[in-house]
Structure 1
Amino acid sequence: MTSVFQRLTSLLKHPGFLLAAAILLAAPLPVGNWLRDVLVTEPQAAAAARTAHATADAAAAAVADAVARWRIALSAIAARDSTRAALSAAGANTARLPLPAEFPDAIEVIATARPEALPATAFVAQQLVRNALSGTAFAITALKPDATQWQLVLAAQIPEAGRPLGAILVVLPMTALAHALAFDQSHGQLTLLQQAPGAPPQSILALGPASTQSPVTAPVPGVAGWQAAVRLSDGTAAEHSFPGLILAATLTPWLLALAALAVCGRLLLQRRGVHPPSDPATAPPRLHRAAVITAREQGTASPPPAPPRDSPTSNATEPLREPAPPAAEDDPAFASQGALLASPEPYPAVVFRDCDIRGASGTHISPAFANALGKTLGSLAQDGGGRRVAVGRDGRISSPTLCAALIDGLLATGCEVVDVGMVPTPVLYFAAARLPSIDAAVMVTASHNPAGDNGFKIMLDGAVLQGDALRDLRKRMLARDWREGTGIHSSADVRNDYIDAVLSDVKTRTSLSVVIDCGNGVAGDIAPRLLEALGGNPIPLYCDIDGTFPQHPPDPACPANLEDLRKVVAGTGADLGIALDGDGDRLVAVSGSGRIVWPDELLMIFARDILTSHPGADVVFDVKSTRRLTNLVNGYGGQAVMCRTGHAHIRAKVAELKAPLGGEFSGHIFFGDRWFGFDDGLYAAARLLEILSLREQNLDSILAAFETSVATAEIRLPVSEADKFALIERIQAAAVFDDAKISVIDGLRVEFAAGWGLIRTSNTESAVSLRFEADDARQLKAIQQRFRTLLEAVAPELADKF
């Protein structure tokens, strides 16, 4: 003890030691502050900023989705005959309409053809009406009529033969928007801002407690002048703090200074000839090594003890396993979406449908979901030896954000991503077939679903993922079994190449006048160009790309969505009309007389043409299609092959049989004779024009040569996702039709002598679908009644719905 005290006294008298102590003990404070800034403060601020920006983006997307749903609902109300009748009855005045079920919180609903019919003080509403009459399909604004409570005013055109007849106005309390957002206020404060030109922004909605954090804003897509401003709560911001790093940044400089001071002191003592006592446990390393060598020479050394089981060297001969990368929702950039709007289930099973992924954007389908999907697909592609992935998106409001998150996920696994931009789904498939070494393709789209939905169509190794493959995809997403790497991002515009490829294959002799209704879907850019390049005279209808689908839902399988097309075909004297769905892989036609030509009838036209050059070939069709197709195919020497409904199932069967043609009633048509075998509404339209041109016949005259029948359109009855599959199983078990042939390859199809009926689960919606066909109207009603009788025993609530 005395010797230790003497050594310390000696050191404290040494000027070199005192200088070193002064320097070393002065350094920890500024070094610690610097380390805290670099390791703690700046990363914490950056993480909080990413979370705030992601939360603001998610909130803005949620507002846009709510507005889009209202837009769709109001546009549907505006198109009703009852609305037009009320407007006509009102004349120069306004018509007050009953509150519709779509807007249970509405304060009032008004229809008018003249802005002057509104009160002089309602200048905002007057301007909305003027805008509607001058071409604005939909508008929304907030106003404060009594200086106390903000209200929302929605306006939509009342159409008549493609022109605005008047406008319908709906006034909603601001609470309607608050309820639609379902904002989680524990994560901060959301303020919705509205800014008129030349005026400062005004707060029209505030949700959540006040916060000291700085606001972050994001524009609301599709609503001019609206912004979502988010202030994270102090608690949410504090989640990004790192207590361990704070402690390490504070203590490390002091520990290093003390260690350096101890080393300095030891060196000074050694130079002065003062050495600590020679204890083997504290001997310098070189003396210890010498003792070991001596022991080994004497034969008394024992092998070194084995390292403990948890020592890093205990598994030195085994490859090191990298820790699993964090899930997308662990990334602060995506954490807020999960907390703000996501389903309690990370990747809900309900969105993994039979042939693709679809669900509500912002809730089921979020940027975090897209990012995790990208990581999973990138890993799967590389598991199979691939690396290049083509990505495209449709024109929905949420598609750019989801596509960016998907690409980020793919890049994080080391994939090479080729972004083909905003294109129809068949153009993405074309890119996957033509660009070199594409191993997978992903399309961000919800096809014909409402504007508030989104999803993904996925192709891997040339096949569309379906059924169990999609469910296995979800399992891997949940397991977070992802590769890590640094990817490469490039872009490719293949639209002109696609048009050139169609032109090199399809030949026309005469110019046909074609009304092309793209339903404001993504095909609106390329479809008129393609028809014109083919020598046709395209008449565009709703070809401006608008992800809110203001004119009608992008589903041509619904007869109501074809009314405008039929009117324009008749009004212009066009040869025919073509309707495409939201992502351009489905089509329905309208003849010059206004007859709707459903896709199974188009298959009959295509089959007759193809079987002349492919005798004995297979033609694949789905359970919803007419049995006249079977008769025609067999009559021309082909083989009619019935398959379950679903674009992925039809495509797989076409590939399996190497069939030159396949299709389904919803409008997916596959050409394998001269094209690539994927579903392509644009190419199918081109082939139809080719047949009409070469035959020099119109659609009506071609169809007149086919046998006739009476059939319904597809009938969809809402049934919850949890119940629809069990319902079909009960229907199959209860079905007894002694005078008919029963098929259960997809639901229940019953073939009678004079017709058939079908009930099955929808692949894309929470619904069951039905369709009926018979030789005449009397037989059709009889078959429908037999299905009603079956449903009365199994699901009486549905029996009177068709």
Structure 2
Amino acid sequence: MTGALQRLASLLKHPGFLLAAVMLLAVPLPVGNWLRDVLVTEPQAAATARTARTTADAAAAAVADAVARWRIALSAIAARDSTRAVLAAAGADTARLPLSAEFPDAIEVIATARPEFLPATAFVAQQLVRNALSGTAFAVTALKPDATQWQLVLAAQIPEAGRPRGAILVVLPLTALARALAFDQSRGQLTLLQQAPGAPSQSILTLGPASAQSPVTAPIPNIPGWQAAVRLSDGTAAEHGNPGLALAAALAPWPLALAALAAWGYLLTRRGAPRTQPPDPTPAPPRVRRTTMISARELDPAAPPPPVSAAQDSSTSQPEPKSPAADTAVANTTSAAEPDPYPAFVFRDYDIRGASGINISPAFANALGKTLGSLVQDRSGRRVVVGRDGRISSPTLSAALIDGLLAAGCEVIEVGMVPTPVLYFAAARLPSIDAAVMVTASHNPASDNGFKIMLGGAVLQGEALRDLRKRMLARDWREGTGIHSSADVRDDYIEAVLRDVKTRTPLSVVIDCGNGVAGDIAPHLLAALGCNATPLYCDIDGTFPQHPPDPTCPANLEDLRKVVTGTGADLGIALDGDGDRLVAVSSSGRIVWPDELLMIFARDILTSHPGADVVFDVKSTRRLTNLVNGYGGQAVMCRTGHSHIRAKVAELKAPLGGEFSGHIFFGDRWFGFDDGLYAAARLIEILSLREQNLDSVLAAFETSVATAEIRLPVSEADKFALIERVQAAAVFEDAKISVIDGLRVEFDTGWGLIRASNTESAVSLRFEADDAQQMGIIQQRFRVLLEAVAPDLADKF
């Protein structure tokens, strides 16, 4: 002990040791701080910033969704006949409406025909009315009429025959918006900011306690001048911290420095110590010899293993691996205990659709992007083209989808807000495209959204869509660094149509886009074809304020019929929400359903493609079969659904296919995908070259009496089981029965159909017969059938 103290005393007097001690002990503090910054502080700041950004984006999307729901409700109220009647009764005044059911928090609900009918002090409300009357279908703003409380003012246009008749205004307290947001205030503070042109931004709503964290802002989609600012709470920010790691990083250099100092001292001590003779060698003790013998035996493969005691065997043995069945059982137990983030029912037969913000969220879209991107790369692909429609939620969902694709390492080409056929065109014309995704819910209500997916040139459907869900649940995702670029193919699309379609006689055409995404391109295409185009509801508005974006519903065609007959137009064209379906209206106002349009197209195409196949769905007229067979073609009936028709057209290399809902596929001169815009151009070409109007062309076909598609609400859980019961109970000895899609019964005088909708919570029916009396008989036989399996539906048609 005395010798050690003497050596330490001598070291402390050694100038080399003292200099090394000063240098080494000065290093750990700055190095520890640097390690703490690199390993803890900077990653924590980055993670906190990501969380704040995600929270701000989610809050902005929640605000947009809440306002969109009010927007949809208010636009629907504005379109009611009762609202127009109240406005007409008010005359040169305003009318107050009771809307306690739709807007229970409303402070005031007013309908007015002109802004000057409002009080002179209500200049904000007056401006909103002016906006509505000048063509803005909906507007929202926040105002503070007194010094205590902000209010939310919503305004919607009251339409009448395609023109603004007036405006309806709803005044809500900001507390209604606060409840709708359901913001988790334990996570931080949310502030909504509104900035008027030329003025500083103002805070209109604050939720949650103050925080020392920096704010992160996100613009609120579709509400100009509004932003969501989020400050994370200190507790939320601390979730990304790691105090133990911070302490370890700060202290880590000290042991190293002390070890280095000790080693240096040891060297100095050794250098100054006198040399001694090595001791006489002595034989190794028995313990060492025994160890040597064991090592030799272990190196000898022929040596028997040493015996192992029971206690040693128990302590060193490894647990047996779990069986796959055990893994599955654990996975099933976990999934049963947790809510399903990707509901099975939104993965429909040929696309993904559900309620936006409920079933279809940005998180859903992001997971879908990661899954699809991984699937693309599994197939040695990389390039994905993405488009979106004009729905309120589509920009947010598209951005989340693209983020997921990029995270999986894909190259994403974004074509922006375009009709679905333009996305398909981009996939066909851009080089080396491996997949395409359209963010849309097609003809579904404004509150829905979804995805149409194409992989390797084919639409993803059926089991392939359900496999996507399985992979999303398993989080089986690749990781990589993607590339994001943009492309505008709209002009290229129009030029391609113009190169293919030729017209002779200019036609007067009214085009109703139903405020869908085709409204930006359809009028320009018709004008380029030489038509005198009259746009109707062509302003893109994702709330669809004039009528739902479904042209197969006769009520949605009433305004188009009125404008066509009122202006003496040659033709009316109605497109759905994403532009891949169409219905026509003749100059007399007759609705020409898509199966009748298929008859026109089939007769034209079969003259140049004799013997060709023509594909149609189970909802289509049987007159189509007679016509195709009469012109020497082959009529092929297929399941309803755009993906089924497209796949069958590709399989048979058919020049034409289509279905009653309005999806029409041209494979003779076009790309074989469903395209409402191109189908309209082909119809205009036929009428122009024949110099006949649509009524004259249809007069040459055999006649029948048919219903539109009849939809009866049935829950998602019950609709397919109902159809199975209908098929099992069906007994029609005097008819032919087809069950390729639901139940279609062919009688000598007509036919009837009942099937489960793949896009809605409903079953659909359709009937056709030689005359109205025979159709009534067929309908009654279906009622008797339904009485046995679903009595509550039997009297609904």
TM-score normalised according to structure 2 size: 0.87
- How far apart are 1:575 and its partner, in Å? 1.3
- How far apart are 1:119 and its partner, in Å? 4.2
**SS of 2:183's equivalent?**
coil
Is 1:697 aligned to residue 669 of structure 2?
no
Instruction: Provide the residue aligned with 1:319 in structure 2.
Output: none
Instruction: Provide the rounded CA distance (Å) in 2 between the counterparts of 1:646 and 1:244.
Output: 58
Instruction: Provide the residue aligned with 1:164 in structure 2.
Output: 164
Is 1:621 aligned to residue 616 of structure 2?
yes
Instruction: Provide the rounded CA distance (Å) in 2 between the counterparts of 1:565 and 1:793.
Output: 40
- CA 739–118 in structure 1, closer or farther in 2 if over 3 Å, else same: farther
Instruction: Provide the residue aligned with 1:510 in structure 2.
Output: 505
CA deviations on 1:79-129 (whole Å, 9 max, x unpaired) are 222222222222223333342754455455432213344445544333332
- How far apart are 1:47 and its partner, in Å? 1.6
1:646 to 624, 641, 649: 641
Task: Give the stretch that moved more between structures: 609-618 or 562-571.
Answer: 562-571
Instruction: Provide the residue aligned with 2:377 in structure 1.
Output: 382
- How far apart are 1:465 and its partner, in Å? 0.5
- How far apart are 1:717 and its partner, in Å? 3.0
2:632 corresponds to which letter in structure 1?
G
Instruction: Provide the rounded CA distance (Å) in 2 between the counterparts of 1:358 and 1:211.
Output: 39
- How far apart are 1:3 and its partner, in Å? 5.0
**SS of 2:657's equivalent?**
strand
2:239 corresponds to which letter in structure 1?
E
**SS of 2:444's equivalent?**
coil
Instruction: Provide the residue aligned with 2:256 in structure 1.
Output: 256
1:707 to 686, 693, 702: 702
- How far apart are 1:9 and its partner, in Å? 3.5
Instruction: Provide the rounded CA distance (Å) in 1 between the counterparts of 2:691 and 2:791.
Output: 51
- How far apart are 1:40 and its partner, in Å? 1.7
CA deviations on 1:588-610 (whole Å, 9 max, x unpaired) are 11211222211111111111111
Instruction: Provide the rounded CA distance (Å) in 1 between the counterparts of 2:488 and 2:393.
Output: 21
CA deviations on 1:126-182 (whole Å, 9 max, x unpaired) are 333233223221122334556555443322121122221112223344444344333
Instruction: Provide the residue aligned with 1:219 in structure 2.
Output: 219
Is 1:76 aligned to residue 71 of structure 2?
no
1:715 corresponds to which letter in structure 2?
I
2:43 corresponds to which letter in structure 1?
P
**SS of 2:21's equivalent?**
helix
**SS of 1:41's equivalent?**
helix
Kept after mapping to 1: 8 A contact 2:516/2:579: yes
Is 1:795 aligned to residue 793 of structure 2?
no
1:580 to 575, 580, 584: 575
Instruction: Provide the rounded CA distance (Å) in 1 between the counterparts of 2:676 and 2:28.
Output: 70
Is 1:63 aligned to residue 78 of structure 2?
no
- How far apart are 1:67 and its partner, in Å? 2.0
Kept after mapping to 2: 8 A contact 1:585/1:679: yes
- How far apart are 1:208 and its partner, in Å? 4.0
Instruction: Provide the rounded CA distance (Å) in 1 between the counterparts of 2:449 and 2:3.
Output: 79
Aligned pairs (5 A) from 1:437-516: 437-516=432-511
Instruction: Provide the rounded CA distance (Å) in 2 between the counterparts of 1:566 and 1:397.
Output: 28
Aligned pairs (5 A) from 1:229-628: 229-273=229-273, 303=299, 344-628=339-623
Task: Give the stretch that moved more between structures: 487-496 or 470-479.
Answer: 487-496
Kept after mapping to 1: 8 A contact 2:96/2:108: yes
Instruction: Provide the rounded CA distance (Å) in 2 between the counterparts of 1:204 and 1:489.
Output: 36
**SS of 2:453's equivalent?**
strand
Instruction: Provide the rounded CA distance (Å) in 1 between the counterparts of 2:728 and 2:734.
Output: 17
Instruction: Provide the rounded CA distance (Å) in 1 between the counterparts of 2:625 and 2:729.
Output: 28
Kept after mapping to 1: 8 A contact 2:110/2:169: yes
Kept after mapping to 2: 8 A contact 1:72/1:552: no
2:49 corresponds to which letter in structure 1?
A
- CA 225–635 in structure 1, closer or farther in 2 if over 3 Å, else same: same
Instruction: Provide the rounded CA distance (Å) in 1 between the counterparts of 2:412 and 2:300.
Output: 52
**Higher Rg of the two aligned structures:** 2
Kept after mapping to 2: 8 A contact 1:621/1:664: yes
- CA 261–224 in structure 1, closer or farther in 2 if over 3 Å, else same: same
1:157 corresponds to which letter in structure 2?
Q
Is 1:132 aligned to residue 136 of structure 2?
no
Instruction: Provide the rounded CA distance (Å) in 2 between the counterparts of 1:649 and 1:239.
Output: 49
Kept after mapping to 1: 8 A contact 2:48/2:240: yes
1:424 corresponds to which letter in structure 2?
P
Instruction: Provide the residue aligned with 2:317 in structure 1.
Output: none
CA RMSD in angstroms comes to: 3.1
Instruction: Provide the residue aligned with 2:682 in structure 1.
Output: 687
Kept after mapping to 2: 8 A contact 1:269/1:275: no
Structure 1 gap ranges (5+): 280-290, 307-342
Instruction: Provide the rounded CA distance (Å) in 1 between the counterparts of 2:426 and 2:127.
Output: 45
Kept after mapping to 1: 8 A contact 2:76/2:545: no
2:139 corresponds to which letter in structure 1?
A
- How far apart are 1:220 and its partner, in Å? 1.7
Instruction: Provide the rounded CA distance (Å) in 1 between the counterparts of 2:97 and 2:779.
Output: 36
Question: How many percent identity over aligned positions?
Answer: 87
Instruction: Provide the rounded CA distance (Å) in 2 between the counterparts of 1:104 and 1:244.
Output: 52
Instruction: Provide the residue aligned with 2:721 in structure 1.
Output: 726
TM-score normalised according to structure 1 size: 0.87
Task: Give the stretch that moved more between structures: 765-774 or 505-514.
Answer: 765-774
- How far apart are 1:663 and its partner, in Å? 0.8
2:393 corresponds to which letter in structure 1?
S
- CA 134–420 in structure 1, closer or farther in 2 if over 3 Å, else same: closer
- How far apart are 1:273 and its partner, in Å? 4.3
**SS of 1:167's equivalent?**
strand
- CA 538–473 in structure 1, closer or farther in 2 if over 3 Å, else same: same
**SS of 1:473's equivalent?**
helix
Kept after mapping to 2: 8 A contact 1:633/1:640: yes
Instruction: Provide the rounded CA distance (Å) in 2 between the counterparts of 1:774 and 1:96.
Output: 49
- CA 121–11 in structure 1, closer or farther in 2 if over 3 Å, else same: same
- How far apart are 1:354 and its partner, in Å? 1.2
Instruction: Provide the residue aligned with 2:111 in structure 1.
Output: 111
2:469 corresponds to which letter in structure 1?
R
Instruction: Provide the rounded CA distance (Å) in 2 between the counterparts of 1:254 and 1:172.
Output: 63
**SS of 1:169's equivalent?**
strand
Task: Give the stretch that moved more between structures: 770-779 or 619-628.
Answer: 770-779
Kept after mapping to 2: 8 A contact 1:426/1:679: yes
1:698 corresponds to which letter in structure 2?
N
**SS of 1:470's equivalent?**
helix
Instruction: Provide the residue aligned with 2:14 in structure 1.
Output: 14
- How far apart are 1:461 and its partner, in Å? 1.3
CA deviations on 1:225-265 (whole Å, 9 max, x unpaired) are 32222232333222221345313312222232223223322
Task: Give the stretch that moved more between structures: 646-655 or 584-593.
Answer: 584-593
- CA 262–512 in structure 1, closer or farther in 2 if over 3 Å, else same: farther
2:736 corresponds to which letter in structure 1?
K
Kept after mapping to 2: 8 A contact 1:44/1:240: yes
Kept after mapping to 1: 8 A contact 2:656/2:666: yes
- How far apart are 1:630 and its partner, in Å? 1.9
Is 1:191 aligned to residue 191 of structure 2?
yes
Kept after mapping to 1: 8 A contact 2:94/2:112: yes
Task: Give the stretch that moved more between structures: 476-485 or 507-516.
Answer: 476-485
Q: How many residues align?
A: 751
Task: Give the stretch that moved more between structures: 672-681 or 464-473.
Answer: 672-681
- How far apart are 1:202 and its partner, in Å? 4.2
2:405 corresponds to which letter in structure 1?
L
- How far apart are 1:531 and its partner, in Å? 1.9
Instruction: Provide the rounded CA distance (Å) in 1 between the counterparts of 2:275 and 2:351.
Output: 77
CA deviations on 1:540-578 (whole Å, 9 max, x unpaired) are 223333333343332222223323322322333221121
1:156 corresponds to which letter in structure 2?
A
Task: Give the stretch that moved more between structures: 681-690 or 120-129.
Answer: 120-129
